[in-house]
A and B are shown apart, each in its own frame.
Chain A
Amino acid sequence: MKKRERIMLIIKFMFLGIFFLIYMVPFIFVLINSFKSKRDILLNPMALPTKLEFSNFINAFNKMGYIHGFVNSLIITVFSVLFIIILSSTTAYILVRKKWKFNQIIFFIMVASMIIPFQAIMIPLVRIYGSIGMLNSKWALIYMYIGFGTSLAVFMFHGFIKSIPLELEEAAMIDGARGMQLFWLIVFPLLKPISMTIAILDVLWIWNDFLLPSLVLVAPEQRTLPLSTFYFYGTYTADYGLSMAGLILTIIPVIIIYLILQKYIINGVLQGSIK
């Protein structure tokens, strides 16, 4: 029995090991080739680079407008997520605490709307916002992200706030807390775990999103990182070393964050999917 278990363990480990290799290999080869010249890559894409040369990275960094892309992505992601959290939490709070018929209808519409795929509204969305001149601005994009992110966030906050006992708020009211003060001082701090989950899910989504920014942001200096990578790669596809370096530059910030916050990110995904 002992022997059989050990064999099973070895089989499991090998199975995982092989798959792990397959999962990582694409990243590894992109990394290796990002240090090589086009000639070396054509000669042998599997060989290790003979020397560590960063010229591809410096070139890619300049040609793709990395700083612009990074800063735009950062501004858009941070503001969108902040607004989603602030606006959705107060909304969910009022929807939970006030059992008006109207609130139930709004909540129902929000939950039902989650089934609408982006593709079903992208054409009219561009039409409407184009006709009032709101395209090509990152603030318009942030506005849209709030709209797209709000229903899931309200839904998740709603589930969480329901479990918070009303006594806490009643006690705070006796102590003199009124109106919004009550929410921000007493309720909002309790929402930290669910706010973290929502923030993680939304950062992953907004930072990596391509289709919506590609429709809204037209001018090159407005581009987010996925957009500038897309145009850069399109222009320099044949220049393999350079294009690989561009991909690595885009991946690096995410991997650094992942190494630091790995536990929270995986946990956030988990909590988010169960709700």
Chain B
Amino acid sequence: MKEEKRFIDKLKTYLLYAGPTTFIFFTVIILPFLFGIYLTFTSWDGISNSHNLVGFSNYIEAFKDMKFLSSFGLTLKYVLYTVILTNIIAFLFAYILTSGMKGQNFFRAGFFTPNLIGGIILGFIWQFIFSRLLVYIGNNFNIPIFSSSWLADPVKAFWTLVIVSVWQNSGYMMVIYVAGFMNVPKDLLEAASIDGANAWRRMINIIVPMMIPSITICLFLTLQRGFMVYDVNLALTKGGPFKSTELISMYVYNQAFLSQKYGVGQAQAFVLFLVVALVTVIQVYFSKKMEVEA
């Protein structure tokens, strides 16, 4: 490309190549983001056109809202369990599926399948399994833990969310871990074997350190998906029983679009954004520090 010297030429070139993207990006992401911050300082009810500035009162109300805090606490618990379980299971799958066994492509494809289907449909599928199939099994084979629907019990309903999310996401993370395992240099592992390192030692001292980049990505993705989960929550438990499983996304959604508390809802959404940004930045920072060169 020729070199543009004058400002007007630069502008023309920029607009030709990047104009539409820049415009759409700013109107869809940046403008609503900034407008959202402004909304948190107003008392807008969603209908009237007047935005009265109310200072920090939405934030104060957000933190005084016990239901918001308990929903946040529940989300943290949910994120903790799903992140740990998803990554352990995905890591194990990937470990076994890179040891050169027969049918590994078949298994990989199978474990990945839930990721092709939307969370709404996955939630409905499991709703049937938990409320019909398992109850039937529980009653006919005398397994008390299944004899009443898990979705009707607040504690068990929380665990259905964890189970379904782990089931949904572990295949995706498995694919990333498989790539990580394939990048561990074979000669390094062989050298360690010759030096007498057993499978466990090789895992701790060679494989895991070499896998840190994959672990960084998977932790990041599972953290982000965990905080943002909505579809499965809506389809599987609908936040019930008795609003006991309303995770934060659903809470914010209901706050704004059902209770019409837009200012407070947006303030809570913004708090959510800050927490997610902080957690993921800290996680990526520490994971990056742990990376090693082969």
**How many angstroms between the C-alpha atoms of A238 and B184 in the bound complex?**
51
Q: What are 9 sample pairs from A and B whose C-beta atoms fall under 8 A apart? A: A12-B101, A46-B137, A91-B21, A102-B14, A115-B276, A120-B272, A121-B32, A144-B28, A240-B128
**How many angstroms between the C-alpha atoms of A26 and B171 in the bound complex?**
15
Known: A45-B132, A116-B33, A117-B276. A247 touches B21 (CB 8 A): no
Asked if B116 and A204 sit within 8 Å, CB to CB, the answer is yes
CB distance from B171 to the nearest CB of A (A): 8
Contact of A94 with B by CB under 8 A: yes
CB distance from A41 to the nearest CB of B (A): 7
Asked if B136 and A269 sit within 8 Å, CB to CB, the answer is no
Asked if A98 and B13 sit within 8 Å, CB to CB, the answer is yes
Interface with A: B55-63, B142-150, B221-229, which one? B221-229
Which B residues lie within 8 Å of A123 (CB)? 36, 39, 252, 256, 262, 265-266, 269
Interface residue count for B (Cβ, 8 Å)?
Answer: 89
Q: Mark B108-121, 1 if CB is under 8 A from A, else 0.
A: 11111111111111
CB distance from B149 to the nearest CB of A (A): 13
Contact of A40 with B by CB under 8 A: no
The DSSP consensus for interface residues of chain A is helix
Name B residues whose Cβ lies closer than 8 Å to a Cβ of A: 1, 4, 10, 13-14, 16-18, 20-22, 24-25, 27-33, 35-36, 39, 44, 46, 89, 92-93, 96-97, 99, 101, 107-121, 124-126, 128-129, 132-133, 136-137, 167, 171-172, 175-176, 178-179, 217, 221, 224, 227-228, 230-231, 234-235, 248-249, 252-253, 256-257, 262, 265-266, 269-270, 272-273, 276-277, 280-281
Known: A150-B24, A180-B16. A269 touches B133 (CB 8 A): no
What residue of chain B has the Cβ atom nearest to residue A43's Cβ? Answer: B136
Since A19-B111, A210-B230, A273-B217 are in contact, a sample of 7 more A-B pairs with Cβ atoms closer than 8 Å, ordered by chain A residue number, is A9-B101, A13-B101, A20-B107, A102-B14, A124-B32, A147-B25, A243-B124
Q: How large is the interface on A (under 10, 10 to 19, 20 to 34, 35 or more residues)?
A: 35 or more
Name A residues whose Cβ lies closer than 8 Å to a Cβ of B: 9, 12-13, 15-16, 19-20, 22-27, 29-30, 33, 41, 44-46, 87-88, 90-91, 93-95, 97-98, 100, 102-103, 106, 109-110, 113, 115-128, 143-144, 146-148, 150-151, 154, 169, 173, 179-180, 182-183, 204, 207-211, 215, 226, 229-230, 233, 240, 243-244, 247, 250-251, 254-255, 258, 262, 265-266, 269-270, 273-274
Asked if B124 and A233 sit within 8 Å, CB to CB, the answer is yes
Which B residues lie within 8 Å of A113 (CB)? 25, 29-30, 33
**How many angstroms between the C-alpha atoms of A230 and B18 in the bound complex?**
37
**How many angstroms between the C-alpha atoms of A209 and B92 in the bound complex?**
29
Asked if B125 and A124 sit within 8 Å, CB to CB, the answer is no
CB distance from A204 to the nearest CB of B (A): 7
Asked if B136 and A44 sit within 8 Å, CB to CB, the answer is yes
